[in-house]
Structure 1
Amino acid sequence: MSHIFFPCRPAISCSHSHPFRASKTVRPIASSCCNPYMTSVWTMLSSAAPHVKSRCPQYPGSSIKRFPVPDDKLDWNQDWPQYDPVSYTAPILLNKPTWADPDIGLFSPQFNTVDGAVDRTSFEGSYKVEDGKPLNPHGRTGLIGRGLLGRWGPNHAADPIVTRWKVDEKGAKIHHSVSQRPILQFVSIKRKDCGEWAIPGGMVDPGEQVSLTLQREFSEEALNSLSLQPSERAELYERITKLFDSPQFQVYKGYVDDPRNTDNAWMETVAVNFHDGSGDSVSELPLQAGDDAGQVQWVDVDSSFALYASHSHFLELVARERKAHW
């Protein structure tokens, strides 16, 4: 939070994704095998739930087929001498982009800790390291190496879910005719890579606070802040800061069942809801697609609206928290 290869970095989420910095470095965004860039609702991501997208037969953006892994062979503690995973690291990583790690052997990262500026800790707790390589905390995936992911171990992303109330011309909340609950709207982007609507989001840069990642990604993807003049950017920053400093709701924090995951590299995300309750911060700003977004618009939060990967689950949790229509 996208795939084939597209200019931007590998996001949480096509799962969720998510990407991008002013330098416009090229990062892979996965194509929609099992629907990639980030996300699955927390109830689906409990430690007891087997990851599914992480075992999709064909690896995103490639012709690589995973070694099939049945549910009863996921656990690393399960003896399985016949396990013969495919090794794959995307060609783009072999060009040694600045946002990616070198191969193990060329360097020795410190896992389960903050390694220099790179946070290699996992929201899942301590993970195993075998032969110098980290092991996916949710078990086998049928593929070793990093695939499309830049970091060995956890690859951290952030998903900002920006919402407002749907109102009539007098500013009164509009209620759904069936549920009788007020309708929320959220800022949604249409991904260029897979054509699906999604929550904007992207990767956490080394040393960057997640709170800044959330703000940066929303500004770049939904408001195209990188193209603004300095005076316009100053006004945008003021409004965005007001919204992102307001009370927020952490929707999810943890492992992401993502098609880009491998035995040695996996996605994790923090999804946070920022609500413009008064309608005077971002609600009045013109949305403009940037980075890997083809389109951007306010969309009604509704269970019938199809979204990229499992983003709809995040919105369901937001609607429940806000006592809104779902």
Structure 2
Amino acid sequence: MHSKLPRSTVDISKMASVTVANLHVKCRNSPYPRTSDIQRYPVPDDKVSWNLSWPEYHPVAYTAPGISKKPWADPDNHDGKYKAIQFNKIDGILDRTSFMGQYKFSTDGLPLNPCGRTGITGRGVLGRWGPNHAADPIVTRWKIDNSGSRCLNKTTGRPILQFVSIRRKDSGQWAIPGGMVDAGENYTSTLKREFSEEALNSTTASPKELEAIVKRVDDAFHHGVEIYKGYVDDPRNTDNAWMETVAVNFHDEVGNCLALFPLTAGDDADAVRWTDINSDLQLYASHRDFIKLVAELRNAQW
């Protein structure tokens, strides 16, 4: 359904250098998302790695109230059912493997964030212990002027690319319209579903409207380029639960397909728009880094 990005076009390792080598940052900030009083234990840059001994480390324990009772969530670690979880494997219809390789465990038997300490243990607001898989569809088009020509940056002469962005209800931040991979769902299905729900408001569509949306998205999302696959510096991450994603670019080169979609915010989004891509973008989690890779891929203005 979508192809991996050729190394000769954009070096995927650049993305890893942003999220791993330069340390995760957003998941060390306080307060913890959707709370006003949960403060992370301060973790300086030189203490992030688990390879460094830090006896004084006393992270705050927090799992959102009621999270374990959600139908899509894992049991609490004190629940007897926790021991039945098959980590680092395909556990029934759940993929508990990590793009970062085999993850390790704490002395309490909890998965350890492969990118280091975050100042908080437990799951926070995340449903799964260990990796929580998501998919992010990056839908792009060229910015066109009134004459039908591509708009160029006045300084660099590079064409300006636009992408579909949504404003998240939970944080108020602009983001790529992505979301969690449901149990038993493949990434391609998630990419289509999340874009339809958040950017086309498919959740409130009539059966006839929904059928049209599904067909249109199926046709448009037939060819995509994998931009990134791995760990995400997400503010929801904890020492024991973290976000990983597959980001795929679906580009409308001519402007006669994706570019004409009737955007309507829905589900977890309260606004949606075509946004110009440039280096001033401020986006949720690692989304700015994904967008930069797309700009490099398309040789567009950044």
Instruction: Please state whether the residue corresponding to 2:66 is helix, strand or coil.
Output: helix
Q: Does 1:285 align with 2:261?
A: yes
CA distance in 2, matches of 1:278, 1:198: 24
The verdict on how the C-alpha distance between 1:50 and 1:303 changes in structure 2, with shifts beyond 3 A counting, is closer
> Could you state the TM-score of these two structures normalised by the residue count of structure 2?
0.88
Following TM superposition, by how much is the alpha carbon of 1:239 offset from its aligned partner in structure 2, in angstroms? 1.9
Which residue pairs with 1:171 in the alignment?
148
Q: Is the contact between residue 97 and residue 131 of structure 2 (CA under 8 Å) also seen in structure 1?
A: yes
Following TM superposition, by how much is the alpha carbon of 1:92 offset from its aligned partner in structure 2, in angstroms? 3.4
Q: Is the contact between residue 242 and residue 281 of structure 1 (CA under 8 Å) also seen in structure 2?
A: no
Q: Is the contact between residue 232 and residue 285 of structure 2 (CA under 8 Å) also seen in structure 1?
A: no
CA distance in 1, matches of 2:212, 2:29: 44
Matching residue's letter, 2:201: N
Q: 1:302 aligns with which of 278, 288, 297?
A: 278
User: What is the 5 A alignment of 1:1-326?
Assistant: 41-46=15-20, 48-62=21-35, 63-94=37-68, 96-106=69-79, 107=81, 108=83, 109-130=85-106, 131-246=108-223, 248-326=224-302
Q: Deviations over 1:115-155 (max 9, x none)?
A: 11111101100010233211111122221111111100001
Q: Deviations over 1:206-244 (max 9, x none)?
A: 111011101100000000012222222222222211221
CA distance in 1, matches of 2:173, 2:47: 32
CA distance in 1, matches of 2:48, 2:157: 44
CA distance in 1, matches of 2:71, 2:97: 20
Following TM superposition, by how much is the alpha carbon of 1:185 offset from its aligned partner in structure 2, in angstroms? 1.2
> Is the deviation greater in 296-305 or in 148-157?
296-305
Q: Is the contact between residue 157 and residue 267 of structure 1 (CA under 8 Å) also seen in structure 2?
A: yes
Instruction: Please state whether the residue corresponding to 1:251 is helix, strand or coil.
Output: strand
Following TM superposition, by how much is the alpha carbon of 1:41 offset from its aligned partner in structure 2, in angstroms? 4.3
> Is the deviation greater in 194-203 or in 109-118?
194-203
Uncovered stretches (5+) of structure 2, i.e. residues with no partner? 1-13
CA distance in 2, matches of 1:132, 1:306: 37
CA distance in 2, matches of 1:262, 1:238: 38
> Is the deviation greater in 193-202 or in 109-118?
193-202
Q: Deviations over 1:25-72 (max 9, x none)?
A: xxxxxxxxxxxxxxx9433123x3322222224222221122222333
The verdict on how the C-alpha distance between 1:176 and 1:74 changes in structure 2, with shifts beyond 3 A counting, is closer
CA distance in 1, matches of 2:179, 2:156: 33
Following TM superposition, by how much is the alpha carbon of 1:295 offset from its aligned partner in structure 2, in angstroms? 1.1
Which residue pairs with 1:14 in the alignment?
none
Instruction: Please state whether the residue corresponding to 1:168 is helix, strand or coil.
Output: coil
CA distance in 1, matches of 2:148, 2:134: 35
Question: What is the number of residues matched between the two proteins?
Answer: 284
Which residue pairs with 1:5 in the alignment?
none
Uncovered stretches (5+) of structure 1, i.e. residues with no partner? 1-39
Following TM superposition, by how much is the alpha carbon of 1:285 offset from its aligned partner in structure 2, in angstroms? 2.2
> Is the deviation greater in 276-285 or in 158-167?
276-285
The verdict on how the C-alpha distance between 1:215 and 1:76 changes in structure 2, with shifts beyond 3 A counting, is same
Instruction: Please state whether the residue corresponding to 1:186 is helix, strand or coil.
Output: strand
Say what the alpha-carbon RMSD is for the aligned residues. Answer: 1.8
The verdict on how the C-alpha distance between 1:292 and 1:114 changes in structure 2, with shifts beyond 3 A counting, is same
> Could you state the TM-score of these two structures normalised by the residue count of structure 1?
0.82
The verdict on how the C-alpha distance between 1:133 and 1:194 changes in structure 2, with shifts beyond 3 A counting, is closer
Q: Is the contact between residue 243 and residue 275 of structure 1 (CA under 8 Å) also seen in structure 2?
A: no
Matching residue's letter, 1:91: P
Which residue pairs with 2:6 in the alignment?
none
Q: Deviations over 1:160-204 (max 9, x none)?
A: 110011223453322222221222111111222332221111001
- Between the aligned residues of both structures, percent identity stands at 59
CA distance in 2, matches of 1:83, 1:217: 38
Following TM superposition, by how much is the alpha carbon of 1:254 offset from its aligned partner in structure 2, in angstroms? 0.9
The verdict on how the C-alpha distance between 1:210 and 1:177 changes in structure 2, with shifts beyond 3 A counting, is same
CA distance in 1, matches of 2:275, 2:15: 20
CA distance in 2, matches of 1:57, 1:226: 33
Instruction: Please state whether the residue corresponding to 1:273 is helix, strand or coil.
Output: strand
